[in-house]
Structure 1
Amino acid sequence: MDGRTFARIVAVVFVAVAVTATALEMTRKVERPDNVAPQAPTALVPNSPGEGLRCCQTLGEAALHDSGCLRLWAEQRDRFLGLKAPFASSASGMATSPSPDASSSEAR
């Protein structure tokens, strides 16, 4: 067996081991205690939307399940897309102007 064939066999074995290790790591489940829910410390209660976003950032992946962060992100998204006035509370009702279709139907 010459050196090139041996090098190819070693390379194939190395790739097979790497693929197997990757597959095992991807299928491994991380055990987390169910009774402990990550909460934002009370010192991080947001006073402004910017502070709220920073608080959600510190929560990390737990912010995906936090209702306050989800609400804040929805408000930011609507503000960015121009669907709502900046930081309007959901209790204030519709803060946007009527759509062009609504105004044309009223004029008829």
Structure 2
Amino acid sequence: MDIKIAARMIAVFAIGTGLTAAITALHDDEDRPDADAPRIERPGGDPSLLPAVKSKLVRCRDLGTAALEDSACRKAWAENRRRFFQINKPDRPISPKQNAAEGETR
């Protein structure tokens, strides 16, 4: 057998094996549930507070440009931004062990 033909056969076999492995890997990810995805506890904030906040925001929306001078609207918008961007939450969750250790050293 010629060396060139053998090299071509090996190359075709290697490419076929690689494609088969890639397709198999892609299909395995579709069947598996996404258990590692982070879960959002309460998207949009506490559900018990939503009707009150929503009614304030609707009122401000209905005021139009007059809402810019309304202090209640500015407070409602600030609260909505704080809830949406979660400004007061730490970047990384603190484990109960770390929280207890910090309490002992203080």
* TM-based fold match above 0.5: no
Relative contact order (C-alpha < 8 Å, sep 6+): which is higher? 2
Q: Return the TM-score normalized by structure 2.
A: 0.36
Q: Return the TM-score normalized by structure 1.
A: 0.36
Q: Which has the larger radius of gyration?
A: 2
